Structures are given as C-alpha cells and as structure tokens.
C-alpha cells in the first residue's frame, strides 16, 4: 500500500469526493441545459496551459498539506488528528473535483502534448463525479460517507453481548476449521450490507449523472477511461488476460476442492463450485490460510526465514537495511537520512498508530518514509521489500512535473513493490548471508503452492468486483438482480458459491470494502499480472536462465537500469511506453505468470489425474 500521490483524486482511501462546483469560474456551465454535455467556449491553448499550471501548483500544495496531516494522524491517532487529516483531505479532493470539471472547457483544442496529458489526467482521475446540482451532490456525498461508515462500523453479534468486528471475523475465517462456525460468521458479516442496498441503488443513479455531465457514458466507463485506450477496449483487454490464466486457475481450483473435500466431506461437492466460506477468507480471494489443509505431508520449503531472523536477533532497522541494500545493489542511491529519522518502524508503547504498512513521500520530493509495526518475521521481511518498492518509485519520478508523479497506471505501483518481493528467493537469502545453502529444487512446490494460493487464487475475484459494478453502472444489471448477478459472476469466474440461500433482500457485494467504499478494484487484478511480467523481464535482463521462481535480480545493475527507466517515467507517458521501457513489449502479458507457475501446473496435473476439474 502507499499513500498520497500528488493527484489525490485517485487515492484509494479517500473516496468522499465532495464536489464544490464553482460555476463562477465556468460561466458556460450555467448556460448549459440540464443534463447536456458541457461545451467549451472559445478557450485558447495559452489559457489551457495557464489553467494546468495553476491546477498543478495548487494540487501539489494541498497534497503535501494532506500528507503531513495524514502522517500525524496515522502515527498518533486522536480525535483531533483524525479531524485535521480529514479536513486537509477534503480540501485536496474538493480542489481536484473542481479542476476536473473545469478541464472539460479545453476539450477539442490543439495543445502541446504535455498540457493535453495533464488535462486528461485531471479529468480521468475522478472516482466519483458528483452531479452539479448542489442538492444531488450533497446527497451522493452523504450516501458515500454513510455506506463507508456502515462498513467500518459493521459488526456481527452472535449473542446479545458478544459482537465480532471484521478483524475478529477475519481471524476466525483464517484459523477455524469448524465448518458450522465458518458459515455462521460468513452469514453474520454479509448481513451488515443489507441496509446499504437502497443507498447503493441511489448512489448509482447520482454518480452516473455526474459522470455523464463530464461526458462519460456512466461511472464504470469513467473508471475504464484512465487506461490510455478506449473504455471498451480496456474491458476486452482484461478478459484477454484472464483467459491466459484460466486453465492454471482451474487446475488449482480442482486440487483445492479435492483436498477440502477430504477435510469437510460432502459439504464440498466433488464437481461443483467450492462453498465460499471454506477457503480461509471472507471473499475467497486469498486461499493461503488453507495451505496447511491442502499441502501434501512431504511438501515443505526447506527453511524457515522467521526462525533465522529471530536467531540472528535482527531488529526492525536491521530488517529495513536489508531492503535498502536490495535497491542499492541494483544501482539506486541510498535512502535519504530523513527516511531513517522520520519513518515509524516499531509499534510505539504509548499511543495508538495505524499499523497497516504503508510507504509515503510526504513532500512529493524526497521526504520518503515507511510506516510499519515491524516484527522479525518472513512476512514482514517481504513487506519491507514491497514498501520500499513504492518509495524508490516515488523518488524515481520526482523530477517530473507534479501531475506526472504517479505510477504509469494504477496497477503499476503495487506491482513494483511485489516484483521486488518476488526476488526474495533462497539464492538471494544465501547471498545476503541469511541462509547457508539454498534448498534443492524438490522443495519448490511448497513455495509455489503457497504463492499460488495467494496470487493465482486472487485473480478471478480481482476481476469480478468491477465486472459486477461495470454492469450495474451501465444498467445491464438492475437493482432487481443485484445479488443474483453478483453470485452468477462469482460462480462463473471464481467457481465458488454461497452455501446458504441468498435472495434479493441481501446485498452481498456491499460486504466487500471496495464496494461500500466506492474504490475501483481492477487495479489489483492488473498488479497481480504485471508483477510477474516485470519479474520475467528483469530476470532476463539479469541473465537468469533458470526457472523464474528461482530468479532474483539482487545485485544486477542491468536489471536495475531497466527498472529505473520505467519508474522514472511516472505517469508522464501512456502506460504502454512504461511497460515497453521495462519489457520491450507494449502489452500487458499474463504468460509470465504462467511461466512462473509452470512447475506447479505440472505438479497439479499429476495430482488431479482421474479427478474432476471445472464446475
């Protein structure tokens, strides 16, 4: 995760886009008939440049202010710091919405490429476009806040005086092996979304209205418009990527279904979809919690990094030093001294902080920091490499103009962090002295299976959330079939199904944060695919000829150069240019993920022999 790009419009955590349409500054809007697209008056290229420059400077200033307030809030939680951070955030978002609406004025002008791209980024960065009618804009903002609030406060109370919040329920979903208990908390959590149903319906109407005022067909089309290609082409592109990986997913699904059937008996059908509550996660989007149920007894990774770190008494700073050394080994400059002075590495004893790991560039220049409650575990070791990936990306594009300081598309930032984490191989651990010798390849299946339960199992869910929303926003799915459409898609793509009856009284999509909180989701699907494409490209640059899952780019300057070439572009060019800089190709390509898991595919095929696949 990372926080506070300059263009705050696209920050995932800030979903409340309070509109403040300044009609005084866009007089033609007043004249436009209701619902009609806003047409530009005779604006000039010089005005466009002046507008973009002013917007860039103001958004930069507001972003830094929001970032400072956000840092204090996350590292010192009090009622006051929360209010101050929310206020600063709101100011930045309001400005962004206003600029987006004003930018339409310069449509169809012939402009220098930089100015044109900045205008495009201003317009396409919105997640929610509120209608210009003040009553409606107030209503849609209120609904958005209400749904997010209901989600945040959501609790399931199995007994009168005993309530479970999402954190409690998440732990039960991960650890419990009692099918009845799992189903109970699954049902309980999904009930929190029922009151959101009428709100969501109204939210769709109003947000679509706002999107149409900006010239988009609907809110879904607005979301798909930020990928440097026509919205419909992007939808097809996503389908194409999924088709490349579907066979691998079907193999994993068949294997896991069989293993869960051994554990839970007839509750798991031999041939149909897997019951959605038995995969160790509320949304069945990450199956790594059932690793111990599905792994064969003879499969283990051959070493335990957590034990090694404990034995070496590696402290939090020491863990981060390993991460930094990875990047300097690629040729990147060391982190600035302020990183070490200002970051939060350990959980303070005297105050509340947000422990969820995140990477920051507070002044959008060189004030890099991470915020994390580090423990000496293998998981945190990997997370540090991931978070520093964000920091080095942020620093690489800091020479670009403010509006270009962001990742090439919204899948790239997370993908870069994960790419680096993919290089944490046994061979890397040997090189940095944490492991004496790398285990032989017979141990690889454990590594690959665990990784597939996380990254491969996620893919169809990463698709479904926005497939559903795109259809809802376009009107293809109407409120009368919200829930059925949700489960049709989940069954079709994920091969999971609810174990109990669901009806149109339920609103199961709302039991996922990103629906209740109106945050686009396809970025996570893209990040999952891109990281393997980046990893393969960099491994090739590093001359690694072995299996991809054993390639680490540690210490390789050639790979570092390629990575840096992509990072430096920021979002100044279409993402196709960025992906070309790293991989030589202008397309996203899921075959790298297939290559990475090729040994696992072979192994799964052997395990699945004579057993049913598909659902």
Least Å distance between CB 386 and Zn ion?
6
In this structure, how many other beta carbons lie within 10 angstroms of the beta carbon of residue 484? 14
390 catalytic, yes or no?
yes
Residue whose structure tokens are 């400005």: 95
Least Å distance between CB 269 and Zn ion?
36
Q: Which of 253, 386, 535, 549 is catalytic?
A: 386
Which residue number has the CB closest to Zn ion? 1
Residue whose structure tokens are 């954190």: 167
Q: Which residues contact 57 (CB under 8 A, 6 or more apart)?
A: 402
- List of residues contacting Zn ion (CB under 5 A): 1, 414, 417
For the chain, the straight-line distance linking the first and the last C-alpha, in angstroms and rounded, comes to: 34
Of 410 and 595, the one with the shorter C-beta distance to Zn ion is 410
Least Å distance between CB 388 and Zn ion?
10
Of 523 and 549, the one with the shorter C-beta distance to Zn ion is 523
Least Å distance between CB 346 and Zn ion?
20
Least Å distance between CB 283 and Zn ion?
19
Q: Which of 253, 277, 385, 514 is catalytic?
A: 514
Least Å distance between CB 473 and Zn ion?
27
Of 417 and 560, the one with the shorter C-beta distance to Zn ion is 417
Element (H, E) at 156: strand 155-159
Q: Which of 56, 213, 324, 387 is catalytic?
A: 387
Least Å distance between CB 261 and Zn ion?
35
Of 1 and 267, the one with the shorter C-beta distance to Zn ion is 1
414 catalytic, yes or no?
yes
The DSSP code sequence of 341-366 is HH-B-S--SSS----S-EEEETTSSS
387 catalytic, yes or no?
yes
In this structure, how many other beta carbons lie within 10 angstroms of the beta carbon of residue 13? 12
- Packing angle, helices 522-541 and 412-422, rounded to 10: 50
* DSSP-assigned letter for residue 191: G
Backbone angles phi, psi at 540, to 5 degrees: -65, -45
Of 275 and 417, the one with the shorter C-beta distance to Zn ion is 417
Q: Which of 36, 356, 379, 587 is catalytic?
A: 356
386 catalytic, yes or no?
yes
Of 111 and 354, the one with the shorter C-beta distance to Zn ion is 354
549 catalytic, yes or no?
no
504 catalytic, yes or no?
no
Alpha-carbon distance 196 to 154, whole Å?
11
Side-chain half-sphere exposure of 221, counting CA atoms within 13 A? 15
151 catalytic, yes or no?
no
Tell me the C-alpha to C-alpha distance, in Å, between residue 192 and each of 153, 264, 511: 9, 27, 7
88 catalytic, yes or no?
no
Of 376 and 417, the one with the shorter C-beta distance to Zn ion is 417
- Grouping H, G, I as helix, E, B as strand and the rest as coil, residue 410 is coil
In this structure, how many other beta carbons lie within 10 angstroms of the beta carbon of residue 243? 10
What does DSSP say about strands 162-165 and 155-159: parallel, antiparallel, or unpaired? antiparallel
Element (H, E) at 472: helix 457-474
Q: Which residues are catalytic?
A: 356-357, 386-387, 390, 414, 514, 524
């Amino acid at each position: 995760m990372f926080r506070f790009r300059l263009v705050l419009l696209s920050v995932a955590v800030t979903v409340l886009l309070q509109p403040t349409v300044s009609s005084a500054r866009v007089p033609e809007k007043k004249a436009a008939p209701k619902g009609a697209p806003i047409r530009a008056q005779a604006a000039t290229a010089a005005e466009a440049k002046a507008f973009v420059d002013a917007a860039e400077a103001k958004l930069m200033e507001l972003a830094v202010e929001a970032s400072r307030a956000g840092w204090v809030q996350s590292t010192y939680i009090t009622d006051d710091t929360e209010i101050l951070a929310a206020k600063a955030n709101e100011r930045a978002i309001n400005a962004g919405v206003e600029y987006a609406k004003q930018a339409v004025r310069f449509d169809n002008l012939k402009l220098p490429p930089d100015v044109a791209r900045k205008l495009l980024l201003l317009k396409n960065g919105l997640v929610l476009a509120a209608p210009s009618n003040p009553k409606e804009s107030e209503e849609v903002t209120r609904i958005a806040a209400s749904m997010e609030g209901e989600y945040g406060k959501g609790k399931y109370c199995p007994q009168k005086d005993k309530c479970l919040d999402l954190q409690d329920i998440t732990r039960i979903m991960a650890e419990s092996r009692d099918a009845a208990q799992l189903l109970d908390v699954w049902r309980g959590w999904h009930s929190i979304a029922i009151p959101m149903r009428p709100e969501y319906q109204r939210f769709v109407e109003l947000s679509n209205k706002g999107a149409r005022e900006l010239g988009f067909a609907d809110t879904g089309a607005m979301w798909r418009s930020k990928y440097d290609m026509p919205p419909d082409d992007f939808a097809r592109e996503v389908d194409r990527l999924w088709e490349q990986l579907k066979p691998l997913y079907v193999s994993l699904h068949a294997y896991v279904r069989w293993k869960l059937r051994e554990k839970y008996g007839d509750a798991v059908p031999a041939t149909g979809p897997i019951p959605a509550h038995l995969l160790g996660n509320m949304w069945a989007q990450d199956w790594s919690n059932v690793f111990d149920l599905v792994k064969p007894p003879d499969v283990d990774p051959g070493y335990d990094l957590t034990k090694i770190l404990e034995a070496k008494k590696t402290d939090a700073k020491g863990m981060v030093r390993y991460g930094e050394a990875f990047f300097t080994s690629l040729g990147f400059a060391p982190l600035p001294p302020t990183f070490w002075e200002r970051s939060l590495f350990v959980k303070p004893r005297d105050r509340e902080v947000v422990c969820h790991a995140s990477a920051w560039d507070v002044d959008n220049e060189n004030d890099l920091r991470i915020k994390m409650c580090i423990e000496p575990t293998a998981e945190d070791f990997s997370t540090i490499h991931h978070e520093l990936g964000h920091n080095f990306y942020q620093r690489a594009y800091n020479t670009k103009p403010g509006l270009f300081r962001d990742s090439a598309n919204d899948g790239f930032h997370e993908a870069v962090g994960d790419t680096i984490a993919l290089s944490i191989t046994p061979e890397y651990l040997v090189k940095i002295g944490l492991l004496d010798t790398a285990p032989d390849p017979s141990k690889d299946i454990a590594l690959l299976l665990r990784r597939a339960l996380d990254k491969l199992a996620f893919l169809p869910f990463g698709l479904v959330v926005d497939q559903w929303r795109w259809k809802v926003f376009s009107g293809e799915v109407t409120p009368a079939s919200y829930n059925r459409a949700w489960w049709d898609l989940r069954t079709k793509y994920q091969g999971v199904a609810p174990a109990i009856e669901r009806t149109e009284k339920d609103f199961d999509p709302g039991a996922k944060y990103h629906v209740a909180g109106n945050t686009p989701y396809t970025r996570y699907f893209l990040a999952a695919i891109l990281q393997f494409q980046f990893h393969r490209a960099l491994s090739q640059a590093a001359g690694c000829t072995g299996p991809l899952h054993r390639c680490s780019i540690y210490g390789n300057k050639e790979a570092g150069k390629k990575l840096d070439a992509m990072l430096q572009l920021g979002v100044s060019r279409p993402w196709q240019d960025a992906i070309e800089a790293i991989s030589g190709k202008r397309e996203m390509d899921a075959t790298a993920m297939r290559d990475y898991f090729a040994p696992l595919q072979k192994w799964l095929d052997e395990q699945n022999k004579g057993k049913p696949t598909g659902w």
